[in-house]
Amino acid sequence: MTKLAYLKESPSQTAGPYVHIGCTPNVIGNDGIYPQDLGAAMITGPAKGEQITFAGRIFDGTGTVLRDAMVEIWQADAQGIYNSPAETRGAADPNFTGFGRQAVDMESGAFTFETLKPGRVPFPDGRLQAPHINIWIVARGINLGLNTRAYFSDEETANADDPVLARIEHKHRIQTLIAQKERNTYTLDIYLQGERETVFFDI
């Protein structure tokens, strides 16, 4: 029997400890190749909406902070529109890219994005998702990039109706995705293993 003529996706390999060389060269002093690291600035002009800081750290199974990870975030603008050709509902705020990339701090392990609080984006069935930030994590020891999301602690009503959070059977685990608000900063620490293991998604 002839097989269907689909190709297989290129298999993933770890980003390794030197991901900075290719993705954030200016952070490690390899400057002069790119004027600015990709995803370093998400707000590029007078963007509409609430400016926030999204911060956190990533911990391994012993509770040790990762100092060599790279975090990428992707989110809608304040109106809930993605700045992407694949967005079907109109034009996003031209002063907001929606894409951020950071190497975590090589001492503290912290990531800190200056961004906007995103608006709500519909699910395919028309229900509105709660405001969220899509997160992708790669590092040495991570064989395939990890997808997770950050939701917002001051969006309790929207979170309660969110169709993705509703997929989580063990309700106490939803807390692992809720970034906690303190003034203008939302903080989400991410745990790769253990009792507080973050919910990761197969998207």
Candidate ranges 46-54, 91-99, 108-116, 181-189; the one touching another protein (CB under 8 A): 91-99
**With respect to another protein, which residue has the nearer C-beta, 76 or 78?**
76
65 binds another protein (CB under 8 A): no
- Give the separation between CA 172 and CA 174, rounded to whole angstroms: 5
User: 158 to 187, contacts with another protein by CB under 8 A?
Assistant: 163-164, 167-168, 173
Which of 44, 84, 184, 185 lies at the binding interface for another protein (CB under 8 A)? 84
State both tokens at 23: 């993705």
Q: Does 45 bind another protein (CB under 8 A)?
A: no
Subset of 109-148 contacting another protein (CB under 8 A): 121-124, 129, 132, 134, 136, 138-147
How far apart CA 139 and CA 154 sit, in angstroms, is: 30
How far apart are the C-alpha atoms of 118 and 125, rounded to whole Å?
20
Nearer to another protein, 6 or 183 (CB): 6
Shortest Å distance, C-beta 182 to another protein: 25
26 contacts: CB under 8 Å, gap ≥ 6 = 34, 36, 37, 40
Pairing of strands 185-187, 178-182: antiparallel
Indicate the helix (H) or strand (E) that contains 112: strand 111-116
Q: Is 99 in the site for another protein (CB under 8 A)?
A: yes
User: By CB under 8 A, which span of 109-117, 152-160, 178-186, 190-198 interacts with another protein?
Assistant: 190-198
Closest CA to 151 of 138, 164, 139: 164
